[in-house]
Amino acid sequence: MVSMKVQDIALIGILSATITASKLALSFLPNIEVVTLLFIVYTVVFGMRRSLMIAFVFSTIEIFLYGFSTWFLVYYLIWPLLILLTNSLRKKIRSEYRFATLAGLFGLFFGLFFAVAESFFYGIMYGVSYWIKGIPFDIIHGVSNFIIVLLLYKPIVNVLLKYDKQSQR
Amino acid sequence: MDKSMRTKGLLIALVVVLAGLGLFVYNTYLGPKSVAGEKAVSVQVIIEGQNIEKTFDYNTDYGFLYDLIKENEEELGASFKGTDFGAMLVGLMDYKADESSNEYFHISINGEDATEGPQGIVLNDGDIYKIELTTW
């Protein structure tokens, strides 16, 4: 069994709440979000294990907020996938350009990932139609993710690293 | 402005231009195309729980179902809700679909289930659009 410190439990709760609140705050803007940015930042600063737990808590809260639907199942896969990709990148390079590209591509293919999952439930034609219909939103998602991560990744990482060091003392 | 910010500004501008190009290509080749000219269409509304079953016949120049319903919003007692995927029909004949009971308005075109929302449904001459309150 994985042992967790009290500090970890508190941190996961706070960071999950931050992600949920930030998603709700921007929900009036179609496909513009900071969830991708925050998962990338959390993985870089707090590590993969804690970020995966945050993703689990966040996805579960989404179900409590919006009700159960097929696309929420994808949430349990897509955010951990982003965390795994970020984790594999962070070992090699910490440049915001690399993470902005990852975030941009993640947003661009977000709809495709859902379309594949939806086609398991409703058929391939539904999946294809779902994806094509959502392409403009995927483009907006990809571009906004790229810009948000490019501009905000470094300042947020610097602040969080500072507080993380202080809390380790 | 330092060099890093200038590079980021240029990159952002480039990505925005590419996105604009992508949206243009999408709208030109993949987006729904409306049919020009006057069309005679029927909108059939069924809300079983309220004993409502009415058919409305329209002659319209509009290209999409959304615009037709919007034009006749009062007669149809229609209301919409904005979503990430466009406008969603949430009310007809002044009856609002109860989301807490999983109610929604299901649209079919000439007996076939619609795969898009009202803003993506193209009006064709002679088509019958059945909108029925149902649950998921």
Query: Could you read off the pLDDT of B32-79 as tens digits, one per residue?
Result: 777 777 889 999 999 998 899 999 999 999 989 999 999 999 999 999
Q: Which residue has the higher pLDDT, B123 or A71?
A: B123
Contact A143 B85 (CB under 8 A): no
**Parallel, antiparallel, or unpaired for β B52-60 and B79-83?**
unpaired
Average of per-residue pLDDT across B75-101: 87
Is the per-residue pLDDT at B15 higher than 70? yes
What does the CA dihedral A22, A25, A29, A35 come to, rounded to 10 degrees?
10
Please tell me the distance in Å from B131's CA to the nearest CA on chain A: 19
Identify the band that residue B8 occupies on the pLDDT scale cut at 50, 70 and 90: very high
Closest CA relative to residue B105, chosen from B49, B33, B60, B67: B49
pLDDT at residue number A169 = 64
Which residues make Cβ contacts (< 8 Å) with residue A14, sequence separation at least 6?
A: none
Contact B8 A150 (CB under 8 A): yes
ipTM above 0.95, yes or no: no
CA Rg value for chain A: 16
Contact A142 B23 (CB under 8 A): no
Contact B116 A133 (CB under 8 A): yes
Which residues make Cβ contacts (< 8 Å) with residue B103, sequence separation at least 6?
A: B97, B133, B134, B135
Inter-residue long-range contacts of A27-30, CB under 8 Å, 24+ positions, other chains counted: A30/A137, A30/A140, A30/B84
Q: Which residue has the higher pLDDT, A162 or B84?
A: A162
Q: Which two tokens stand for residue B38?
A: 């006057």
Enter the pTM of the model.
0.75
Q: Which two tokens stand for residue A68?
A: 């159960």
Q: Which residue has the higher pLDDT, A71 or A151?
A: A151
Average of per-residue pLDDT across A114-143: 88
In the numeric block, the tokens 């709208």 are attached to B27
Chain B residues 38-77 with a CB less than 8 Å from chain A: none
CA angle at residue B119 from B113 to B121, to 5 degrees? 35
A-chain residues near B1 (CB < 8 A): none
Contact B30 A30 (CB under 8 A): no
Is the per-residue pLDDT at A71 higher than 80? no
Contact B84 A142 (CB under 8 A): no
Q: Which two tokens stand for residue B67?
A: 């615009």
**Parallel, antiparallel, or unpaired for β B112-113 and B103-109?**
antiparallel
Interface contact B13, partner A, CB < 8 A: no
SS3 of residue B52 by DSSP: strand
Please tell me the distance in Å from B95's CA to the nearest CA on chain A: 22
Q: Which two tokens stand for residue A119?
A: 């086609």
B-chain residues near A97 (CB < 8 A): 11
Q: What pLDDT digit, counting tens, does each position of A18-70 carry?
A: 999 999 999 888 889 999 999 999 999 999 999 999 999 999 999 888 877 77
CB B39 within 8 A of CB B68: no
SS3 of residue A139 by DSSP: helix
HSE value, Cβ hemisphere, 13 Å, CA-based, for A156: 18
CB B120 within 8 A of CB B32: yes
Alpha carbon B48 to its chain's center: 23
Identify the band that residue B11 occupies on the pLDDT scale cut at 50, 70 and 90: very high
- CA-nearest residue to B19 within chain A is A139
Catalogue the E-assigned strands of chain A: none
Is the per-residue pLDDT at B116 higher than 60? yes
